[in-house]
Amino acid sequence: MADGTVYLYFKNKEDVLISILADAIGRVVAEIEERFKTESDPIRKLHYLVSVYFEKLGTDKNLALVTQIHLRQSDQAMRRQIGDIIRPYYGLIDHVLRDGIEKGVFRPEIDPRIARRLVFGTMDETITAWVLTGAKYNLLGLIDQVVDLLVHAMKK
């Protein structure tokens, strides 16, 4: 496709990047929501939540580069759009946290907003480090370690 043809469908480069993010996060959220219909254990839900996110970005270096680097250099309006796109994923994290607290798996005094930042921030920083090192190691090999760290930070 010629470069100019892209702009028949998108306003600008930022619009292309936002569309890529919306599509990727939409697919991740849909896959996790489907799995959560049949999974009741909060720790397995957390593991699945981390796994799907890491697998999506860890098997597509270009997508990881867009989400972790290019979209971070955006303006205020674009950051609001990014926030709207990622909000459903945050909702899934909140679901896992509430479920874990209600079932007595996670400590009841955990502030869900802080815990959400802990979960997403840990995943986000792990993927960013992987991208910045040139994806020279197996990101998917870190899933169990990340989940173990998160569970032990919140476990009752």
Q: Which amino acid is at 73?
A: Q
6 domain-assigned: no
| Token representation of residue 120 | 């997403």
pTM: 0.89
63: domain CATH number is 1.10.357.10
Contact between residue 95 and residue 32 where contact means Cβ atoms under 8 Å apart: no
113 domain-assigned: yes
Instruction: State how many domains the chain has.
Output: 1
Strands (E) located in the chain: none
- Buried/exposed 81-120: b ≥16 CB within 10 Å, e otherwise: bbeebbeebeebbebbbebbbeeebbeeebeeeebbebbb
42 domain-assigned: yes
| Token representation of residue 40 | 């009741």
The CA distance from 116 to 121, in Å, is: 8
pLDDT tens digits for 68-103? 887 777 788 888 888 999 999 999 999 999 999 999
Q: What is the pLDDT of residue 127?
A: 95
The C-alpha angle 122, 126, 132, rounded to 5 degrees, equals 145
89 domain-assigned: yes
99 domain-assigned: yes
3 domain-assigned: no
Residue 108: in which H helix or E strand, if any? Answer: none
**pLDDT block averages, 10 residues each, the chain of length 156:** 66 82 94 96 98 94 87 80 93 97 96 96 96 93 98 95
8 domain-assigned: no
Contact between residue 113 and residue 51 where contact means Cβ atoms under 8 Å apart: no
The CA distance from 93 to 74, in Å, is: 25
- The range of the structural domain enclosing residue 132 comes to 13-154
51 domain-assigned: yes
